[in-house]
Structure formats: structure tokens, C-alpha cells
Amino acid sequence: MITRRRLVTGACALLMALPLGLLPTGTASAEPASDENAPKVELTLDVSGSMRKRDIDGRSRMAAAKQAFNEVIDAVPDEVQLGIRTLGARYRGDDRKVGCKDTHQLYRVGPLDRTEAKTSVATLAPTGWTPIGPALRAAADDLEGGEGSRRIVLITDGEDTCAPLDPCVVAREIAAKGIHLTVDTLGLVPDAKTREQLSCIAEATGGTYTSVRHTEELTDRVNQLVDRTADPVAVPEATEGARTCSRAPKLRPGLYSDREKFGQHRFYRVEVPPGKELRASVSIGADRAVHNDYGVLLRAVTVHGREIVRGSEAGDGRTDLISTGLRYPKAPADEDEAPPETVCLQVSNSFSAPASVKTEPGLPLELTVDLVESPREAADVASFGLGRGWWMLGVLTLSGLLAGLLWGWLSRWRNPVRRGN
């Protein structure tokens, strides 16, 4: 019998016996992901004139960004394809039209040459304007193609100076394409307006916003985001709900993304086999200014429109995300090979907004669908608190009445009434 120890010993002896020239040269490394599936990230850096300010650990904002970039480049996982884009790095003049086109891909997205990437960053000097909107559009184009995760990491110390092209609108356009591209934003010593704009950009694409005041914070956060690109969480599959159940897309268990207009209803279909329980949840994000009172409704209905079960939630403006869910167990069938039941999921919202707020594209929506083994008492679970509640209300009322009568009888038995004179 060949043991593992003998196998290793034999392999070592064989390697020692080989001529030196036949041994492979270079260091061993993990095989990188194919170009089609490789995760991609583009670091997008503000190089505008305000980056000269010396308020990060006694150094200029530009110096802090360069140091962070060097450390991040050293730590990029081998499987990640990285690119670098700048905004405001070339044009020094006062012509706003020219300055708002000043975005440049400094290092092309692809397998990383660490020395070349560091050299390209070392030459940067604070220069011009802050065209965040155009830079986001260009960065999204840089990351096109492939099936891997994609991420833009935007680092800036100020808000966009190239209105009326609103970066929030650009971020919503990117999200509406359904290309699973996330934009994370980092604000260097930000003011209130910068925080608001960068938060809006991040929320529109499911990204994060981080305020940074120290070089170490910047390095750590960018490293986290690059690592997250290499090992992403589940990415929603883009879908498009219909106005009616009959035309709704058929969904399998999974995570889906869509867009829903203010006050709209959208339908999706799920096939629920006997003995399975449908679990669904929906989240809608307020990625722009909306009125404070709003709600979301998720209904499971038959193909004929009869409500099976529902879940709902209301909001008052304290959060930018509102979610609800439901469960519908399908009882096991009496006969074998029984067909599944077509259940239509209806998502509705009651968001409204001031007249000045753009309604296109719609609000971001995420829908989760799952099918699990149904519990034994399927009808009870489906009805309790989820929509078929009239008979349960009757049971509770009757139970309360019986409990009251029993308590009254026990009280009279323990404290008998004395006959008076």
C-alpha cells in the first residue's frame, strides 16, 4: 500500500534526480481566474486642486492618497484585475467646459503590474476640476465585459463641480443597466454637501460611503473593498416585473433586482410544488428625496387574483430602505406527480416625491425567492398573521370566551358567596 509519506518521499527524490535545467523557474502562485470570470475594480481618484490641502495627518490629501494607493497595490489579490482612473488631473485652466471633461484612465483594467501601477500614481499632482459624473460614466465603461464582480472605488475630497450632470443620476443610470456594478465612495475630510452627494452615489448602486480623516483609515478601507471584489457576496440577477400576473417573468429560487416607479405594481411568478413552502421578501430603497410617509406591500395571489397571503411595512423617513416578507406553505398532494401551483408575487409601493425630483429610473428593488420543505401544519402557518386570518380571529375569540367562563367559575368556587341575613 502506498502511503502519503512514501508518496511525498518519492516525489522529493524524483525532483532531486532531475537536471537543474528541467526544473520550472519562477515562484509558484495560484492560477488566476480567466479573463471572463475575473473580478474587476477601478480606483477612481480625485486629483483636483483642493487635494493640496494639508489636513490629513499633517500631510496633503494627495500625499495620503498616494501612500494608500501604494499599500493597496501591494495587497491586491492575484485574481483581481485592477485599473486606475483620475478626475481633474490634467487641465489647469479656468474653462469649465474643458475642465468638466478632464477624466483619464491612468492604468488600464487588467492583470496587475504593481511596479507600473505605482509609477503611474507617483507622477500625479493636484490640478483641476472635480468632474465626478463624467468619471463615473467612463469608469463604468472601463469595467464592461466579463461575468465577474465589478466595483468602482471613488476617492474624493469634494462634491462634483460640473453640474447639471448630477453624479447621483449617473449612479442610478449605472444601477438601472442591471450590470451588477457597485460604486463605493470615500470622502476625504468631507463637508456636509460632499457627504450627502457621496452617500447618494453609493446607495444608488448598493455600495457604501466612508468618511476618512487619516491615511491608515483610507488604506484599510480601500483594501477591504478590493478584497470584497475578489470574494463578493451574492449578486442579484436583473429581472423586469410585469404589470399583470399573466405576463410576469417566472422566477426560480434566488436573488433578483429590478426598478419600480413611484406608486407602481409589479408582478413575478413562482411555481410552488406540493410539500414546499414559498418564502419571499422584498426591499425597496429610497435613493432620492421622497416624502416621509411611504410603504411597501408584498402579496402572494393566485393566477385568478385571489389573495393567498401578504406582508407589508410602513416607513416615516427615518431609513432609506424598507422591507417586508411572506411565507406560503403548499400542503402535500394526495396523489403522486401533482402539478405545482403558480403563485404570483405582487410588489407595490406608496412612495411619493416633490415635483422637482426625477422619477426615472425607478426605485431600486431587491426580491428574494426561496422554496423549502413545507412544515406539517401547512395551513396553520400560512394563515397565522399572513392574510387568511378570519377563522383564526374566530378561534381566538372563542378561546378568550371559554377562558373567561372558566376563570369566573373557578373564582366562584374558591370564594363562595355567603348567604346574608
Q: How far apart are CA 210 and CA 190, in angstroms?
A: 10
pLDDT band at 391 (very low <50, low <70, confident <90, very high): low
Does the structure show a pLDDT above 50 at 385? no
Does the structure show a pLDDT above 60 at 407? yes
Average pLDDT of every residue of the chain: 83
pTM exceeds 0.85: no
Query: Coil, strand, or helix at residue 303?
Result: coil
Buried b vs exposed e over 272-293: b needs ≥16 C-beta within 10 Å?
A: bebebbbbbbbbbbbbbebeee
Count of positions (residues) in the chain:
421
Domains of the chain: 40-230 (3.40.50.410), 237-383 (2.60.120.380)
pLDDT single digits (tens) 299-343: 999 999 999 999 999 988 766 778 999 999 988 877 667 899 999
Beta bridge partners of 369: 254, 280
Residue 34 and residue 148 in contact, taking contact as beta carbons nearer than 8 Å? no
pLDDT single digits (tens) 14-55: 333 333 333 333 333 344 455 778 999 999 999 999 999 999
Task: Give me the percent of the chain exceeding a pLDDT of 70.
Answer: 82
DSSP 5-53: HHHHHHHHHHHHHS-GGGSPPS---PPPPPTTT--EEEEEEE-SGGGG-
